[in-house]
Amino acid sequence: MGGVPYGRPMAMTDADGRDGLQLDQTTVQIGPYLQTWPCGLVLELVLQGDVVQRARVVRPPYGPTKGAPDGVSNRLRGAARLLKLLQLDGLTERCRRAAAAHERHEAVDIAALRAAVRRSGAFAALPPRLGSCRLEGTETDVRSRLRAWLDDGEEQPEGATTEPKSRLSGLLSGLEWNEAMLVINSFTPHQLRGMAPREKVADAGDEPERKHAAMEHAH
């Protein structure tokens, strides 16, 4: 059963974590470039319909190219990606423009931006406790991370941010596609590099994949 037709693993049924329906399972590689995606990150996802069953980091994302790793401009760029996922294109544009303006050392009114985001219902639209993990010693979720990105805008001293102990692949299992995308985009590239190290096939460790790997070895 199964095999790798046209160079891709065939869709196979597997036990389901959501509603007990045995749906086809499909394995896809996503990345390194997408509209709303940390640059350079490559994930191998085992999907059942729109639910992520397992995730494996094939390649960690690139580090930030400009500014302090978790500084204002990179946090605004992160907020822009999340807002894009919430279909708020206008506010996405405002965030990106503010990030660019901050890099040119122009004054940026982050409070106004934050008020506009709140009026759009963005915080209410995010489910509570989505992607929750400990960050800098406090429990955070996607909503609180977005809120922190749009906070007063004080430059954090470099290195003050401790990286989260959770692994990205662990946070994604069982999430629906859109929720998984929100979680992936709720970390700065700097934070992601700490929590998304390259993972070997065996790490994700499940029966069909081991077989697949063994077959590749035999060739």
Applying CB under 8 A, the residues found at the interface with another protein are 6, 26, 28, 34-36, 47, 49-50, 83-91, 93-94, 97, 119-122, 124-127, 130, 176-179, 181-182
Tokens standing for residue 133 = 């993990």
Structure letter (DSSP) for residue 21: -
When the beta carbons of 47 and 68 are compared against another protein, the nearer one is: 47
Taking the least distance from each CB to another protein, the nearer of 162 and 178 is 178
CB of 148 to another protein, least distance (A): 18
Which one, 124 or 215, has the nearer CB to another protein? 124
Query: Looking up tokens 């590099």, which residue turns up?
Result: 193
Residue 159 CA to residue 69 CA, distance in Å, equals: 8
Question: Least distance (Å) from another protein to the CB of residue 150?
Answer: 14
Please give the Cα distance from 36 to 152 (Å, whole number): 24
Separation of alpha carbons 139 and 154, rounded Å: 21
Least Å from the CB of residue 51 to another protein: 10
Q: How far is the CB of 216 from another protein (least distance, A)?
A: 22
Shortest CB 62 distance to another protein, Å:
19
Cα–Cα distance for residue pair 214/219, rounded to 1 Å: 9
Other Cβ atoms less than 10 A from the Cβ of 212: the count is 17
| Least distance in angstroms from the C-beta of 156 to another protein | 26
Q: Report how far residue 140's alpha carbon sits from residue 90's, in angstroms, rounded to the nearest whole number.
A: 26
Q: Can you tell me whether residue 20 is helix, strand or coil?
A: coil
Q: Is the CB of 42 or the CB of 88 nearer to another protein? A: 88
- Cβ atoms of 176 and 127 closer than 8 Å: no
Q: Which residues pair with 51 in a beta bridge?
A: 48, 176
For another protein, give the closer residue by CB, 147 or 194. Answer: 147
With respect to another protein, which residue has the nearer C-beta, 68 or 86?
A: 86
